[in-house]
């Protein structure tokens, strides 16, 4: 079963509108002849609308970094899938470890957001991963599979409607990467759990991205693992010169 690789740039809390527009123009120009890989960028919320305009006609998806699972109402400060779709989003990251750690996001909250996104035909990129403490205690698979089950409660598991991202917390923004073999072990376990709970077709079609200090120098080796279907890139997505080579490395 072949899955088209996908490389997504998580810009986190970075880039003014002018900087975001410049970056996406650089990515667009640098990948215009690239085939065999799907691309997504996730700008800060204030840049979503202008980046959507800069992406017009380009085969590059647009993701928000978070959402709230209601359409409209008295939810000061929040953004809904309805409004994200309205500005041109195609995807939304949910359950990123920074949100889980700094903003108290729970698996149940992640599942509610993913369901709300799917109801508006947006594709959730559901993130999960263990902390260093959990890895050192030998709990990596237990933690990741537990997060997978709970974060997908009520979510449609289908290759066109869901993307997963395994991001070991200790590898995010630290320069430390999981070895390709360690990452593959987790990706494989996640896929087998999908197979068990959601059937072979879903398990074979859902893309599972790796995230955590992915850069041009380590991308090819990570992305050549059989169950690693792409990358969720933070720091290295902030410059076209580092994001584009990662996108190129995903093509096989």
Distances (CA, A) of 60 to 188, 209, 216: 27, 17, 20
Closest distance to ligand PGA from the beta carbon of 77 (Å): 22
- Choice from 81, 168, 212, 230 touching ligand PGA (CB under 6 A): 212
Which contiguous run of DSSP H or E holds residue 210?
strand 207-211
With contact defined as beta carbons under 8 Å apart, do 156 and 126 qualify?
A: no
Q: Is 43 in the site for ligand PGA (CB under 6 A)?
A: no
C-beta of 47 vs 222, nearer to ligand PGA: 222
Q: Please indicate whether residue 19 is annotated as part of the active site.
A: no
Q: Please indicate whether residue 133 is annotated as part of the active site.
A: no
- x/- track of binding to ligand PGA for residues 82-121 (CB under 6 A): ----------------------------------------
Catalytic residue among 91, 96, 105, 187: 96
Residue nearest to ligand PGA (CB): 234
Number of residues that bind ligand PGA (CB under 6 A): 13
With contact defined as beta carbons under 8 Å apart, do 31 and 39 qualify?
A: yes
Catalytic residue among 98, 105, 130, 167: 167
∠ Cα 225 91 172 (to 5°): 50
Closest distance to ligand PGA from the beta carbon of 57 (Å): 27
Quick one: which of 231, 235, 234 has its CA closest to 247? 231
Distances (CA, A) of 184 to 156, 171, 191, 207, 221: 24, 15, 10, 13, 11
Near ligand PGA in 10-39, by CB under 6 A: 10
Phi-psi map region of 67: left, alpha, beta (phi>0 left; psi -120 to 50 alpha): beta
Q: Which stretch binds ligand PGA (CB under 6 A): 20-28, 62-70, 217-225, 234-242?
A: 234-242
- x/- track of binding to ligand PGA for residues 131-170 (CB under 6 A): ------------------------------------x---
With contact defined as beta carbons under 8 Å apart, do 249 and 220 qualify?
A: yes
SS3 call for 15: coil
Which contiguous run of DSSP H or E holds residue 187?
helix 180-198
C-beta of 202 vs 213, nearer to ligand PGA: 213
Give the residue numbers marked as catalytic: 96, 167
The residues binding ligand PGA (CB under 6 A) are 10, 167, 172-173, 211-214, 232-236
């Amino acid at each position: 079963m072949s899955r088209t690789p996908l490389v997504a740039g998580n810009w986190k809390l970075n880039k003014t509108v002018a900087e975001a527009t410049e970056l996406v123009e650089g990515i667009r120009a640098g990948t215009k002849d690239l085939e065999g890989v799907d691309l997504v960028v996730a700008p800060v919320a204030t840049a979503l609308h202008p980046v959507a305009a800069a992406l017009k006609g380009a085969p590059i998806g647009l993701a928000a970094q978070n959402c709230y699972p209601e359409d409209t109402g008295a939810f000061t400060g929040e953004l809904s899938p309805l409004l994200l779709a309205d500005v041109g989003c195609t995807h939304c990251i949910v359950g990123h470890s920074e949100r889980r750690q700094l903003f108290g996001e729970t698996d149940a909250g992640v599942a509610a957001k993913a369901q709300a996104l799917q109801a508006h035909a947006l594709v959730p990129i559901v993130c999960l991963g263990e902390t260093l403490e959990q890895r050192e205690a030998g709990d990596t698979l237990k933690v990741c599979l537990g997060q997978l089950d709970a974060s997908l409660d009520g979510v449609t598991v289908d290759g066109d409607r869901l993307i997963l991202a395994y991001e070991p917390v200790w590898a995010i923004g630290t320069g430390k990467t999981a070895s390709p073999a360690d990452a593959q072990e987790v990706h494989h376990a996640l896929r087998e759990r999908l197979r068990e709970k959601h059937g072979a077709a879903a398990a074979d079609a859902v893309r599972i991205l790796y995230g955590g200090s992915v850069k041009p120098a380590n991308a090819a080796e990570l992305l050549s693992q059989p169950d690693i279907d792409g990358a969720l890139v933070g720091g290295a997505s902030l410059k076209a010169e580092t994001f584009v080579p990662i996108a190129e490395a995903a093509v096989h």
